[in-house]
Structure 1
């Protein structure tokens, strides 16, 4: 059973193609069963996100599996295969397993180490399981990948360094005030950046969020998205006197908050500190506002400095993550090849013994009249021929078992000698109710 991964992502295809190739979650059960019906596919999973669409499959014939997956993608989305081939990448065998490990760990994401992909992979696997289109091989691949993803995040902390402007703004607020629950927060502006900031604030536990915008109607729409409250732009001063944090992202072409205005606001706050985070370009808050006592001001360049450091920290963490992937691939490769090699050697030896006994009995019947000593010599010679004939293939197969091509050699040997081998695909990879950094390798039910 061989793994195959075929798909496209933000590096291989423009958004126009990625949109056409996406799968809606509500249709996934039917889509998965449609895919599974194609020739050569024994188990399948579809991973569909905003940045990638990938099909993972376990197949008994790699070439047939690749043809089937490409045909399915072209047929389902109504795109010519020749056009689709320009954007698709194909990973087979252990390259497919490594790719899945890297995807699940966030190493293949647009933002390295991002956390969302781990849940997306888990959800894709869950959908395939519910649709009853997985098999033992797919189960092992994905359970192992999820365990690897958790281990990497636990050991490298790669996802602990925010790299988006809106997320970093919220993280700065948390560093300044600790928990955001109970803190008064005002968002100035109702555009895309304000929307992202509002979502991150709510995710961080903020419960009191006000939205102010020159268009009061837009402020209402944004506030309603996360149960906040809209306030009129002209009434903003009275709320500036009350809130603890202001995050500004308006589309204004000039400063909205000037030093004189903020001096007056601070005179009415009875000594309470205030954090201002200006993520607008052009800036909304005059830089001299940061000189006012009890005001801490960050502008977008301050945030970008933090983000640049976080990018560097993520890249350092990614190096450690890649080493973990290598380590996990070595363990997986060793385990996976053993599934093929040990049963194949046993089957080959049994085949040799069966042929020897059959031909030996025929020869002894024809010869007839041999003394016990003579018959013993004939049997000894037959044993020696079989053992010598099988010694080199078995020795070499054991050596190949430690390489990335080990399972291919066993497959070839099975076909050459017409061996009936039932591989053992049970493997214990516990990803539930265990420490995320612990990945156990072994066989189990």
Structure 2
């Protein structure tokens, strides 16, 4: 079995291409079933967001898997593969596994270190698992990737530094005041930047918010979404005398906040400081305003310098996460190597149990005078002898299977204990389960749902 990923994202495809390959949420169960039924595919998970569409799969053969998965993409989206071939990437084995770890931890995102993708990968995996599209391999791999990403966000500060201008504006205010709880904030402009700024303010403990916009209905809509107060644009100067923080982001081509207006405002504020963050381009605030007493003006260049500094900090934290991923990949490889041990141990126990039962039957025929108590004691003691004889070989083969030539060790073990016939029977039973996987998925879902319940109780950082 081989782990692969085929997909496209914001780095390989422009938005006009990405939008052609988005899965409707309601269609994903059917897509997973069709993908699972695709030739060569044994397990699959689809991670679909606004910035990426990725198909993770466990396949039986490497040479042709890409052809079959591209065929699925072509058929599902009704787009000839010639139109998307150049935008796709595909990774195999270790590269595919590392890619999943990096995606889940936010290292492959447009904004490095963002946490939203973690929830999206988790939801994608749970959906695939619920639709019986995953098995032993992905149940382990995705669990490990999600757990590692969560640990990465808790153990590093990668998500703590503002890396968008709107977020930086809000964080700068936090640095100055410590908290927005008792401060009055005015947002000038109800466009996209104003909306983004408001989202960041909403989780910062803000209680008193005012929104001003030339189109009052837009100001009203934005203010109501956050429990704030919309005001007519004509009240701008009046509000400037009352608030503590101003964040402005209009689309105006001339100064909305003039030097003359702020001179009047400063006179009425009686030495109370006013912090102004101008994130508009062109600027909304006359730069000469920053020369007035007790007025602290920051423009987009100031904030972008902060963003750049914070991005450098995130890169440092990302390097720490890369080391975590290295260790987790080693752990997953060790787990993969030991997968072949379980059938051998099961076969060995089965053979030992059979020999034990045959021996007991022979003993009882030769000693018919034994009573129930004596038979019980003999059975227990002989069973103990068998288990003690098996203990060391089992411990050793577990250790050897995780080493470099583990496959050879498994082969020798099979030959030494003559387990070929029992393993062949196990293989036939496994083939039957693949044709009727419902029972196996019921068993695996019990394990996954257990840690799923555990993880959903943990809030994203």
Interval containing the TM-score (normalised by the shorter chain): 0.7 to 0.9
TM-score (norm 1): 0.77
**2:222 corresponding residue in structure 1:** 222
Work out whether 1:317 is the aligned partner of 2:327: no
Structure 2 Cα separation of the partners of residues 265 and 406 of structure 1: 78
Secondary structure of residue in 2 paired with 1:6 = strand
Structure 1 Cα separation of the partners of residues 407 and 203 of structure 2: 46
Secondary structure of residue in 2 paired with 1:254 = coil
Shift in alpha-carbon separation, 1:409–1:121, aligned structure 2, 3 A: farther
- Map of 1:124-163 to 2, 5 A cutoff? 124-163=124-163
Q: Which moved more, 1:25-34 or 1:118-127?
A: 25-34
**1:4 corresponding residue in structure 2:** 4
Shift in alpha-carbon separation, 1:26–1:207, aligned structure 2, 3 A: farther
Secondary structure of residue in 1 paired with 2:58 = strand
Render the CA deviation track for 1:308-333: whole Å, top value 9, x for unaligned.
11111111112221111111111111
Structure 1 stretches of at least 4 aligned residues deviating more than 4 Å after TM superposition: 341-348, 397-403, 405-411, 421-436
Secondary structure of residue in 1 paired with 2:275 = strand
> Contact between 1:333 and 1:402, CA under 8 Å: does it hold in 2?
no
Shift of 1:234: 1.5
TM-score (norm 2): 0.74
**2:363 corresponding residue in structure 1:** none
Secondary structure of residue in 2 paired with 1:39 = coil
> Contact between 1:39 and 1:64, CA under 8 Å: does it hold in 2?
no
Shift of 1:290: 2.3
> Contact between 2:338 and 2:401, CA under 8 Å: does it hold in 1?
no
Render the CA deviation track for 1:280-315: whole Å, top value 9, x for unaligned.
122222223223333222111110111111111111
- Map of 1:206-285 to 2, 5 A cutoff? 206-285=206-285
Shift in alpha-carbon separation, 1:81–1:231, aligned structure 2, 3 A: same
- Map of 1:334-345 to 2, 5 A cutoff? 334-340=334-340, 343=343
Shift in alpha-carbon separation, 1:254–1:406, aligned structure 2, 3 A: farther
- Map of 1:30-429 to 2, 5 A cutoff? 30-63=30-63, 65-340=65-340, 343=343, 402=403, 420=424
Secondary structure of residue in 2 paired with 1:255 = coil
Shift of 1:343: 4.7
- Map of 1:6-21 to 2, 5 A cutoff? 6-21=6-21
**In proportion to residue count, which structure has more helix?**
2
Structure 2 Cα separation of the partners of residues 306 and 106 of structure 1: 21
Shift of 1:10: 0.9
Secondary structure of residue in 2 paired with 1:42 = strand
Structure 1 Cα separation of the partners of residues 205 and 22 of structure 2: 32
Q: Which moved more, 1:277-286 or 1:216-225?
A: 216-225
Structure 1 Cα separation of the partners of residues 145 and 246 of structure 2: 41
Shift of 1:255: 2.2
Render the CA deviation track for 1:262-289: whole Å, top value 9, x for unaligned.
2322333344332211111222222232
Structure 2 Cα separation of the partners of residues 410 and 81 of structure 1: 43
Render the CA deviation track for 1:166-197: whole Å, top value 9, x for unaligned.
11111112222223234321111122222211
- Map of 1:22-33 to 2, 5 A cutoff? 22-33=22-33
> Contact between 1:147 and 1:431, CA under 8 Å: does it hold in 2?
no
Structure 2 Cα separation of the partners of residues 410 and 56 of structure 1: 29
**2:364 corresponding residue in structure 1:** none
> Contact between 1:146 and 1:431, CA under 8 Å: does it hold in 2?
no
> Contact between 2:189 and 2:213, CA under 8 Å: does it hold in 1?
yes
Q: Which moved more, 1:422-431 or 1:13-22?
A: 422-431
Q: Which has the higher contact order (CA 8 A, sep 6+)?
A: 1
Shift of 1:224: 4.1
Structure 1 Cα separation of the partners of residues 254 and 302 of structure 2: 19
Secondary structure of residue in 1 paired with 2:87 = coil
Structure 2 Cα separation of the partners of residues 327 and 221 of structure 1: 49
Structure 1 Cα separation of the partners of residues 409 and 248 of structure 2: 63
Shift of 1:31: 2.4
> Contact between 2:2 and 2:93, CA under 8 Å: does it hold in 1?
yes
